[in-house]
Structure 1
C-alpha cells in the first residue's frame, strides 16, 4: 500500500472519529434538553427556524436561569401563601372575575418571591421553563383566560378553569398543595378541595404533587 493511500485512510478514519464524537455530544445535549424542558422542548424547537436554533434558545434559557438567585420559601411563608390561596377560592363563589385577577397577582408575587423576574410575561415563561416546564402550559392557559376576562369574554366555567390552571403552577412553585383539607390525613395523600369552593370533577387532575427533583 502506497504511503499516500495510507495517509488518506488515516485522514478518513480521523474524520469519522471526529464526526462520531460530535454526533455523540449533540445527541447527549439534546437528551439533556429534552429531559429538562419536557414538552417545552417540542414547543420551542417547533417555533424556531431550525432544531439547532431552538436548542440554542433553550441553552440560553439555562444560562440565564443559572444566573438567578432563587430562594426557597420558609414554612411560615408557605403557610401564608396557602391561606391566601384558600381566600382566593372562597372569593370565587361570589366574584369569579375578581378571584381570577387576584390569583394572577398572587402567582406573580410567588414567582417574584422565589427569585424569578416578573417584569415581562414572556421572560417569566422562559425562566420558569427551566425548572417548571411541566406545569408551564397551565400558566399559559390561565393567563390567556385572564386576558379574556379583562375584555369581558370569559364565562364562569372559563374562570373556574383558569383558577384550576393557576393552582397547578402555584403548587409547583410552593412545593406543596396550597389547600389542606381535614380529609387528607394520611401521608402522601392528595388533599381534596371542598366542592363549594371551586373544584369538582377536575379535582383529581388539577394538581399533581411537584417533583422534588425539579427544585
Structure 2
C-alpha cells in the first residue's frame, strides 16, 4: 500500500473516531442533563427551538447555580420553618386565600435563606431547576393558582391544591438542608398533611 493510501486510511480512521467521540459525548451530556433536571429537561426541550438550544440553556443554568452560595439551613431554622408551615396549614380552614399567600411567602423565604435569588419568578424557576427539577411543576402550579387567587379567581379546591404543591417544594427545600428530614417525619407527615387540607 502506498504512503498516500496509508495517510487516507489514517485520516478516515481519525475522522470516524472524532465523530464517534462527539456522538458519545453528546449522549453522555444528554443523560447527565436528563438525570440532573428530571422533567424540567423535557419541558425545556419542548419549549426550545432545538434540543441543542435547550441543552445549552440547561448547561448555563448549571453554571449559574454553581456560582450561587446555596447553603443548608441550621436545625433551629429548619424547625422554625416547619412550625410556621404547620401554622399556615391550620389557617387554611378559615382563610384559604390568605394561607396560600402565606405559603408562597414562606417558600420564598426558605429559598432566600438557602441562598437562592428571589427577585423574579422565572429566575427562581431557573435556579431551582438545577437541584429541584422534580418539584418545579408543583411550584409552577402553586404560583399560577396563587396569582389567580390574588384576583379572587380560584376555587377553594384549587387553593387546597396550591397548598399541596407549595408543600412539595417547601419540604424538599427543608429536607435538602439536612441529612435527615425535619423532625425525622417528612415522609409520614406528607400523606397525613394532604388529608388534613
Structure 2 counterpart SS, 1:49: coil
Q: TM-score, normalised by structure 1?
A: 0.84
Could you report, residue by residue, the CA deviation over 1:70-101 in whole angstroms, capped at 9, with x for unpaired residues?
11111100110011001101111110000000
Mapped to 2, the partners of 1:121 and 1:24 lie a distance apart of 36
In the alignment, what sits opposite 1:46?
46
For residue 177 of structure 1, report the CA deviation from its aligned partner.
6.3
Could you report, residue by residue, the CA deviation over 1:142-178 in whole angstroms, capped at 9, with x for unpaired residues?
0000011011110000000000100000000010766
In the alignment, what sits opposite 2:161?
161
Structure 2 counterpart SS, 1:154: coil
Describe the shift of the 1:68–1:77 C-alpha distance in structure 2 as closer, same or farther (beyond 3 A). Answer: same
Structure 2 counterpart SS, 1:163: helix
Quick check: 1:104 aligned with 2:99? Answer: no
Could you report, residue by residue, the CA deviation over 1:47-75 in whole angstroms, capped at 9, with x for unpaired residues?
11110000000000000000011111111
Mapped to 2, the partners of 1:76 and 1:20 lie a distance apart of 52
In the alignment, what sits opposite 1:15?
15
Structure 1 counterpart SS, 2:70: coil
Write out the 4+ residue segments of structure 1 that deviate beyond 4 Å after TM superposition.
none
In the alignment, what sits opposite 2:174?
174
Single out whichever of 13-22 and 2-11 deviates more from structure 2: 2-11
Mapped to 2, the partners of 1:189 and 1:127 lie a distance apart of 25
Mapped to 1, the partners of 2:139 and 2:50 lie a distance apart of 26
Q: TM-score, normalised by structure 2?
A: 0.91
Q: Output aligned runs, 1:59-208, within 5 Å.
A: 59-175=59-175, 190-191=188-189, 199-200=194-195
Is the helix fraction higher in 1 or 2?
Answer: 2
Mapped to 2, the partners of 1:193 and 1:24 lie a distance apart of 42
Root-mean-square deviation (Å): 2.1
For residue 126 of structure 1, report the CA deviation from its aligned partner.
0.4
CA contact (8 A) 1:177 1:191 kept: no
Could you report, residue by residue, the CA deviation over 1:177-197 in whole angstroms, capped at 9, with x for unpaired residues?
66x7xxxx9x78612666xxx
Mapped to 2, the partners of 1:116 and 1:188 lie a distance apart of 22
